[in-house]
């Protein structure tokens, strides 16, 4: 029995479809609009975050300096007249600075005033003066204008980050210090210069003396240990699982555990390092060696997964052709499959290293949160890394550490951008499309 004919006057399927097209197109336009707005909101928030960090951290790349007329008294600096570097290093340069300050402001007679007057300059000023004399002993016996680093409060005041008064009273700087600063500034004795200390010094309790060199060296040393341990092990494990391991329950169990380890919170690896490497093996605390081992464990699952994906992306025809020419399975893997998968492996390794460079939680657990003023010289020396240094400075109450925290974040972002850019360049340079 044939189907009943459509009722006269009833809309056909084509008419229904055409009637619904405007609604579907409006829904599609709304979906595209929502997607575009999501991107705009995300980029705007990211832009505001970066702008805030740049605004707070830009000041850390410059420092304020004060010029004083220093009399390089030979009786103070080199009483023996031998120009012995050891004698020059032990001279009382802080006394020369105090003499110059009191000569400029003779009204500071009381002990409290003299202490406040010395507070205009950083305690690093004496070290800077010693460096100048050691580099040029001919300064001894002469008088010259020398630019010396200002104290953190003076630096913050000149940058507008520190108010002159608080609640109608005195702020961190008293009235006399403000008057002395204004007098020096009016004479052109205050200037801004590039803050080399930020990149040439280690950590310090004084904001104007704190630098990133120790954290940078510690980061590089920790990343080298991580790379040396995780890359060979990750590639070897990936080659075995992808090319040689039989497909059975044991290999399935290994693959599941590798995938699960990639999602384990990083602090768990820190607890493992604390219990095994420090508690059981008694390795040095707060050392790049231990930090690198912990981060190697953290990145190893990622290395294995990425390497397996790169190996699986090599066409089977490569393997079949090499086997047909008489190559052994090991020769096929080492001479053909692995070189073709190397760009993807390197790209994944660099991205994994970028993740490790931004980790702080596992390193806090193994003691890399300690205050380290000296720059490490070996992987067993106490050290810190950039993320932990940022954490330490963010916890400091001094206003000068606020801009240094943001500056350290900028340096870390540049470090990560360079790593990811290297991954992109490697991908474009060596990638092959099948």
Tell me the residue range of the domain where 125 lies: 62-194
Query: For residue 7, is it within any domain?
Result: no
Query: For residue 41, is it within any domain?
Result: no
Query: For residue 10, is it within any domain?
Result: no
Task: Mark 242-268 as b/e (b = at least 16 C-beta within 10 Å).
Answer: bbeeeeeeeeeeebeebeebbeeebee
228 and 174 share one domain? no
Query: For residue 29, is it within any domain?
Result: no
170 and 232 share one domain? no
159 and 288 share one domain? no
189 and 72 share one domain? yes
122, 152 contact by CB (below 8 A):
yes
Query: For residue 54, is it within any domain?
Result: no
Q: What CA–CA distance (Å, rounded) separates 416 from 211?
A: 19
378, 130 contact by CB (below 8 A):
no
Q: CA nearest 341: which of 304, 300, 303, 308?
A: 308
pLDDT tens for each residue of the chain, 434 residues long: 455 555 555 567 777 777 778 888 888 999 999 999 999 999 999 999 999 999 888 889 999 999 999 999 888 888 888 888 888 888 899 999 999 999 889 988 888 989 999 989 998 899 989 988 888 888 888 888 999 999 998 999 888 888 877 655 556 788 888 999 999 999 999 999 999 999 988 888 888 889 999 999 999 999 999 999 998 999 999 999 888 888 888 888 888 888 888 888 888 998 988 899 988 888 888 899 999 999 999 999 989 999 998 898 888 888 889 888 888 888 988 888 888 888 888 888 888 888 888 888 888 888 888 788 888 888 998 899 999 999 889 888 788 898 999 999 999 999 888 888 887 787 777 766 65
Report the pLDDT value the prediction gives residue 184, as an integer from 0 to 100. Answer: 92
Report the pLDDT value the prediction gives residue 225, as an integer from 0 to 100. Answer: 93
Query: For residue 101, is it within any domain?
Result: yes
Q: CA nearest 434: which of 302, 312, 345, 304?
A: 312
326 and 407 share one domain? yes
How many residues comprise the chain? 434
The token pair that represents 292 in the structure block: 């690198």
228 and 177 share one domain? no
170 and 263 share one domain? no
Backbone angles phi, psi at 384, to 5 degrees: -135, 175
294 and 254 share one domain? yes
278 and 149 share one domain? no
- 3 state SS for the chain: CCCCCCCCCCCCHHHHHHHHHHHHHHHHHHHHHHHHHHHHHHHHHHHHHHHHHHHHHHHHHEEEEEEEEEECCHHHHCCCCCCCHHHHHCCCHHHHHHHHHHHHCCCCCCHHHHHHHHCCECCHHHHHHHHHHHHCHHHCCCEEEEEEEECHHHHHHHCCCCCCEECCEECCCCHHHHHHHHHHHHCCCEEEEECCHHHHCCCCCCHHHCCCHHHHHHHHHHHHHHHHHHHHHHHHHHHHHHHHCCCCHHHHHHHHHHHHHCCCCHHHHHHHHHHHHHHHCCCCCCCHHHHHHHHHHHHHHHHHHHHHHHHHCCCHHHHHHHHHCCCCHHHHHHHHHHHHHHHHHHHHHHHHHHHHHCCCHHHHHCCCCCCCCCCCCCCCCCCCCHHHHHHHHHCCCCCHHHHHHHHHHHHHHHHHHHHHHHHHHHHHHHCCCC
CATH number for the domain that contains residue 318: 1.10.3720.10
Q: At what angle do helices 175-186 and 111-118 cross, to 10 degrees?
A: 50
pTM above 0.75? yes
Report the pLDDT value the prediction gives residue 405, as an integer from 0 to 100. Answer: 92
Q: Which domain-ending residue is among 167, 194, 221? A: 194
Report the pLDDT value the prediction gives residue 221, as an integer from 0 to 100. Answer: 92
Report the pLDDT value the prediction gives residue 1, as an integer from 0 to 100. Answer: 46
Strand partners, 117: none
Q: Which domain-ending residue is among 140, 161, 194? A: 194
239, 228 contact by CB (below 8 A):
no
Those residues with Cβ within 8 angstroms of residue 348's Cβ, 6 or more apart along the chain or in another chain: 302, 303, 305, 306, 307, 309, 310
Query: For residue 89, is it within any domain?
Result: yes
299 and 408 share one domain? yes
303 and 362 share one domain? yes
Q: Which domain-ending residue is among 146, 162, 194? A: 194
352 and 325 share one domain? yes
Those residues with Cβ within 8 angstroms of residue 365's Cβ, 6 or more apart along the chain or in another chain: 267, 270, 271, 273, 274
Query: For residue 139, is it within any domain?
Result: yes
Per-residue model confidence as pLDDT tens digits over 17-73:
777 788 888 889 999 999 999 999 999 999 999 999 998 888 899 999 999 999 998
Total domain count for the chain? 2
């Amino acid at each position: 029995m044939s189907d009943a004919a459509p009722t006269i006057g009833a809309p056909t399927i084509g008419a229904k479809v055409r009637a619904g097209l405007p609604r579907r197109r409006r829904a599609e336009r709304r979906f595209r609009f929502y997607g575009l707005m999501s991107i705009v909101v995300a980029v705007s928030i990211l832009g505001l975050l970066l702008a805030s960090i740049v605004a707070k951290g830009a000041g850390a790349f410059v420092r304020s300096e004060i010029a004083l007329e220093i009399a390089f008294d030979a009786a103070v600096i080199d009483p023996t007249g031998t120009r012995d570097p050891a004698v020059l290093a032990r001279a009382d340069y802080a006394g020369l600075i105090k003499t110059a300050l009191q000569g400029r402001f003779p009204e500071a007679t009381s002990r409290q005033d003299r202490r406040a007057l010395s507070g205009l300059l950083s305690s690093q000023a004496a070290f800077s003066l010693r460096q100048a004399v050691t580099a040029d002993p001919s300064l001894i016996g002469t008088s010259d204008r020398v630019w010396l680093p200002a104290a953190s409060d003076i630096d913050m005041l000149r940058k507008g980050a520190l108010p002159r008064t608080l609640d109608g009273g005195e702020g961190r700087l008293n009235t006399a210090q403000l008057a002395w600063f204004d007098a020096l500034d009016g004479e052109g004795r205050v200037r801004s210069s590039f803050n080399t200390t930020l990149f040439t010094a280690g950590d310090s309790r004084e904001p104007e003396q704190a630098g990133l060199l120790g954290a940078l060296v510690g980061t590089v040393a920790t990343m080298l240990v991580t790379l040396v341990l995780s890359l060979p092990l990750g590639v070897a494990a990936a080659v075995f699982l992808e090319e040689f391991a039989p497909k059975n329950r044991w290999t399935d169990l290994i693959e599941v555990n590798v995938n699960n380890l990639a999602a384990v919170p990083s602090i768990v690896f820190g607890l493992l390092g604390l219990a095994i490497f420090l508690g059981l093996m008694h390795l040095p605390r707060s050392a790049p060696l231990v930090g690198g081992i912990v981060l190697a464990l953290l990145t190893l699952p990622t290395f294995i997964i990425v390497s397996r994906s790169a190996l699986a992306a090599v066409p089977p025809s490569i393997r079949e052709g090499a086997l047909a020419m008489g190559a052994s399975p090991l020769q096929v893997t080492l001479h053909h499959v692995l070189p073709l998968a190397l760009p993807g492996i390197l790209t994944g390794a660099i991205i994994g290293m970028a993740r490790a460079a931004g980790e702080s939680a596992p390193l806090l657990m193994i003691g890399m949160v300690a205050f380290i003023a000296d720059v490490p010289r070996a992987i067993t020396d106490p050290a810190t890394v950039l993320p932990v240094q940022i954490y330490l400075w963010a916890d400091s109450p001094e206003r000068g550490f606020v801009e240094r925290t943001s500056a350290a974040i900028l340096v870390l972002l540049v470090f990560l951008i360079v790593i990811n850019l290297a991954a992109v360049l490697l991908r474009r340079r060596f990638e092959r499309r099948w």
